[in-house]
Chains A and B, each alone.
Chain A
Amino acid sequence: SQQGEEDPQALSIQEGENATMNCSYKTSINNLQWYRQNSGRGLVHLILIRSNEREKHSGRLRVTLDTSKKSSSLLITASRAADTASYFCATVGSGSARQLTFGSGTQLTVLP
């Protein structure tokens, strides 16, 4: 079953604008990860945030985690046309859990 659910399902913005995607999950987690997938390609790991962290930055990416609301957000600042892709959140459950549970993704389109 899907643990993470992304919102919105699709997002279209102009180049230079910021893009925000949200992820909600249902059970307690060890960590939450964001991945990117270009059309027809494999997924690329972007960033991981642990359950005891609230915010993390990596270049133009900013991830927040609110464990009380069981939600996370991914912010891409100053977007570029090359950021066009699908973005997925994935959770690792607390306790022994070697597998990720992926959400259904947000399709981001950045218009030049």
Chain B
Amino acid sequence: SQTIHQWPATLVQPVGSPLSLECTVEGTSNPNLYWYRQAAGRGLQLLFYSVGIGQISSEVPQNLSASRPQDRQFILSSKKLLLSDSGFYLCAWSPETGTVSYEQYFGPGTRLTVT
């Protein structure tokens, strides 16, 4: 069966420090991968998605970047964190089904607090 891991679970970082959040998927090949951010009490905002190694699409201009160095690994990074980067970060995967997205499967999330 497929599983998705995210770490760390919680993170407190000072403004201006770098960030690296990691997401890995097991039990599937060539998944579509997604990074979302969720502000408190709000819906999910899609940040990045990837359909293959080295292929990253960015949905909103921001202080963050994403990379996919391996088929089942997705990394979210920042060189210098801002206070506004605080939030709950969720990674998700979906099977490769051509051009349309169906169900997505989410990781447990990372709670990031920038102080």
C-beta contact mask, B30-43 vs A, less than 8 Å → 1, else 0? Answer: 00101010000111
A75 at the interface (CB under 8 A from B): no
**B100 & A98 in contact (Cβ 8 Å cutoff):** yes
**Interface size class for chain A?**
20 to 34
Q: Which single member of B32, B41, B90 contacts A42 (CB below 8 Å)?
A: B90
A58 at the interface (CB under 8 A from B): no
C-beta contact mask, A50-90 vs B, less than 8 Å → 1, else 0? Answer: 00000000000000000000000000000000000000100
Give the nearest-CB partner of B91 in chain A: A42
Interface secondary structure of B, over-half rule? strand
B1 at the interface (CB under 8 A from A): no
Q: Please give, as numbers and ranges, the residues of chain B lying within 8 Å of A48 by CB-CB distance.
A: 102-103
C-beta contact mask, B93-115 vs A, less than 8 Å → 1, else 0? Answer: 01000011111111111010000
Q: Which single member of B42, B49, B105 contacts A99 (CB below 8 Å)?
A: B49
Give the nearest-CB partner of B34 in chain A: A99
A31-B101 Cα distance, complex, nearest whole Å: 9
Give the nearest-CB partner of A89 in chain B: B43
State the Cβ distance, A9 to closest chain B Cβ, in Å.
9
A19 at the interface (CB under 8 A from B): no
**A42 & B109 in contact (Cβ 8 Å cutoff):** yes
B11 at the interface (CB under 8 A from A): no
Q: Please give, as numbers and ranges, the residues of chain A lying within 8 Å of B42 by CB-CB distance.
A: 104-105
A48-B94 Cα distance, complex, nearest whole Å: 14
**A42 & B101 in contact (Cβ 8 Å cutoff):** no
Instruction: List chain B positions with a Cβ less than 8 A from chain A.
Output: 32, 34, 36, 41-46, 49, 51, 59, 88, 90, 92, 94, 99-109, 111
